[in-house]
Amino acid sequence: MSYQALYRVWRPQRFQDIAGQRAITQTLRNALIQGKSSHAYLFTGPRGTGKTSAAKIFAKAINCHFLENGEPCNECESCKAITSGQLNDVIEIDAASNNGVEEIRDIRDKAKYAPTSADYKVYIIDEVHMLSTGAFNALLKTLEEPPKNVIFILATTEPHKIPLTIISRTQRFDFKRISVKDICERMVYILNQEKIGFEDAALPVIARVAEGGMRDALSILDQVISYGDDMVTLANAMSVTGSLTQELLLNYFDAILTHNTEQGLSLLQSILAEGKDAARFVEDLILFSRDLLVYQQAPQMIELLEEASADSSFKELSEKMPAESLYQVITILNETQSEMRFSNHPDIYLEVATVKMTQLRGTTGVTAVVSEMPIPVHTANSVQSQPSSNGDVSQLEAEMQALKKQLQEMKEQGIGTAVKKAPAKVVQKKANGGQFKPNTTAIYSVLKEATKDNLLQLRDLWPDLLNMLSVTQRAIMKASTPVAASPSGLIVSFEYDILCQKATNDTELSEAISEYMRRLIGHTPTMICVPSEQWPTIRTQYLSQNKAASSPSEESPASPAMNQGSATGTQGTKPVTESNSTKPEPQQSQQAEFTNVPSPFDGLDDFAAPPEENPEDNSIVSEAMQLFGESIVEVIND
């Protein structure tokens, strides 16, 4: 067969023929001119970007005796032999089929011999990431210190699969995707040399489909030439690549703009019925949306447009389509593109995306109405509209003066000074309707019997308990801390409400914790979960209630012992029981908080008992509740 594909006929033979890799080719040429070439190179990058071509050109250049400006002459015997693949000293190996240890050992053994006819022996290992671990290890020492006059050039599309020990012993060059402009320039040169007619608008269509690969672009160009009888036209390029014309894209976006779902679905069905590729269709829509957005923001930079041409219809659409709608369209298309990759029915995702985009409701109308409304300005006695900015400023100053006056009156009444001296801070609660509500009744029952020894015992064993849980259960309990414990119950504080909720609802987790605690301490206390933000408030409320219960009522008779304790000021007197008996009885451990008996909180600074409340502080809190409402006021003790 005499015909050869364009990408084979027009394979680069000099560094200047490699499109889009100027930084790499210039570096290699300067290294050859200065005689500073390395013993090992690593060429990485996407397919069809010139890695293997650059390796062969480098092999020719380093063995060429008539080097001109770092370029091989392509006329001497050495250059011609390398171009035709007949020089034994330039060995090209496909690592995909020669990836074993034996093949690499053979290379290592033969590399010891001097080149036969060339100055340097060059090994070009393509797809080097396919080598096995043993093969890489066999190559390692030879790659670090190769014999004299031996050069290794490794090429790969997946550098992340190559061991770092190999990469560190090479000079790495990353080949980037070739731009649409560079691909078009190369295709123009080839078409002119082949004397084939073409339309300028057809070449960018081919270059975009190639996705940065020169070899793919020339393969598609070959198909378009065959389809159009040695003529490259826009219609032929659209048909071969499955791309959409700008007219179809404009009609589709017109359906989005007018919220015409029926028109959008009809266009989609007709496009797919013509055999257009669904993935290519989404890609064209994303690029067209991008061009609309770019033209809106920078209409003078027309050269940035990739998919569209700035004709009158395109400019009219860009003026009508709001930027907010384009943001939403691009987001929907990106989500659809990712979902289509894992689906056997991409048409369904396209239909759903079409319905979503045609039902978008922009905010431009609301913005326009709001912008036309007069700005309301609040005065002391009335509300009026005043467009003047000077009026707005003066009105704001008046409001500031009124606020300052009100603040001064509060200070004169003593509210401001009291707030500064108060140990409690009045803050506004967060408007969080989904806040977790712990079981305070169960918490109070645990606190009645809580002891310090039980808490310290569980705190010591808590890390061991977490290690016994599964990975998922440990993730829930990682941000938890025991804060109170009794023989029959355990209160655990969580840093996050959502974890507290999960731990409370997870019966399997509760059963596991009970079982592991039985193994560690011999009994199974019931775990009660509470958010760390709510625990100080709950504990303070419990202490306040017990303090009120322990103090004698004004109407109930007090025992002599209690009167004596209050008169002498001792703090060791125990409170009376619930029956208000005149005979003082020893109280159980739940009253240890207010006696000299050790309490479950003794020695724990973070849960120390709160100080005595000042009557003045209570008036401040009451005043705050009257001003802001009890539902949004929370008292936090310093």
Domain-located, residue 630: yes
Q: CA 201 to CA 210: how far, in whole Å?
A: 15
Domain-located, residue 249: yes
CATH of the domain at 197: 1.20.272.10
Q: Measuring CA to CA, how many Å separate 78 from each of 15, 32, 75, 534?
A: 17, 16, 8, 83
Position 322 scores a pLDDT of 87
Position 123 scores a pLDDT of 93
Q: Are residues 141 and 77 in the same domain?
A: yes
Structural tokens at position 14? 């000099």
Contact 337, 286 (CB under 8 A): yes
Q: What percentage of the chain carries pLDDT values higher than 70?
A: 76
Position 599 scores a pLDDT of 47
Q: CA 253 to CA 308: how far, in whole Å?
A: 13
Q: Tally the domains of the chain.
A: 3
Chain CA centroid to CA 352, Å: 25
Residue 504: which residues within 8 A CB-CB, separation 6 or more? Answer: 436, 529
Average pLDDT of the segment spanning 278-293: 87
Find the radius of gyration of the CA atoms of the chain: 41
Position 28 scores a pLDDT of 93
Domain finish residue from 176, 192, 223 = 176
Residue 238: which residues within 8 A CB-CB, separation 6 or more? Answer: 205, 244, 245
Q: Measuring CA to CA, how many Å separate 325 from each of 253, 292, 353?
A: 11, 11, 14
3-class secondary structure, 610: coil
Domain-located, residue 544: yes
Q: CA 52 to CA 60: how far, in whole Å?
A: 13
Burial class (CB in 10 A: 0-12, 13-18, 19+), 366: exposed
Chain CA centroid to CA 64, Å: 51
Q: Are residues 108 and 222 in the same domain?
A: no
Contact 535, 493 (CB under 8 A): yes
Q: Are residues 168 and 201 in the same domain?
A: no
- Model confidence, pTM: 0.54
Q: What percentage of the chain carries pLDDT values higher than 90?
A: 18
Q: Are residues 202 and 158 in the same domain?
A: no
Domain finish residue from 176, 197, 225 = 176
Q: Are residues 190 and 101 in the same domain?
A: no
Query: 423 is in which domain, residue-wise?
Result: 415-549+596-638
Structural tokens at position 79? 């250059």
Residue 628: CA count within 13 A, CB half-sphere: 15
Q: Are residues 127 and 32 in the same domain?
A: yes
Q: Are residues 165 and 187 in the same domain?
A: no
Strands 383-385 and 376-378: antiparallel
Contact 313, 250 (CB under 8 A): yes
Residue 89 has pLDDT above 80, yes or no: yes
Q: Are residues 163 and 187 in the same domain?
A: no
Q: CA 325 to CA 327: how far, in whole Å?
A: 5
Q: Which amino acid is at 565?
A: G
Q: Which of 381, 388, 376 is nearest to 402 (CA)?
A: 381
Average pLDDT of the segment spanning 3-9: 85
Domain-located, residue 97: yes
Structural tokens at position 147? 């014999």
Average pLDDT of the segment spanning 25-37: 91
Domain-located, residue 614: yes
Which of 118-132, 303-317, 482-496, 624-638 is least confident? 624-638
Strands 90-94 and 197-198: unpaired
Q: Are residues 219 and 134 in the same domain?
A: no
CATH of the domain at 74: 3.40.50.300
Domain-located, residue 410: no
Q: Are residues 17 and 54 in the same domain?
A: yes
CATH of the domain at 498: 3.30.300.180
3-class secondary structure, 493: strand
Position 56 scores a pLDDT of 93
Q: Are residues 168 and 228 in the same domain?
A: no
Residue 431 has pLDDT above 50, yes or no: no
Domain-located, residue 621: yes
Domain finish residue from 124, 158, 176 = 176
Average pLDDT of the segment spanning 103-132: 89
Range with top average pLDDT, 259-273, 300-314, 387-401: 259-273
Q: Are residues 168 and 269 in the same domain?
A: no
Domain-located, residue 554: no
Q: CA 598 to CA 7: how far, in whole Å?
A: 88
CA angle 416–636–606, rounded 5-degree value: 130
Residue in this structure with the two tokens 């050039």, named with its chain if needed: 153
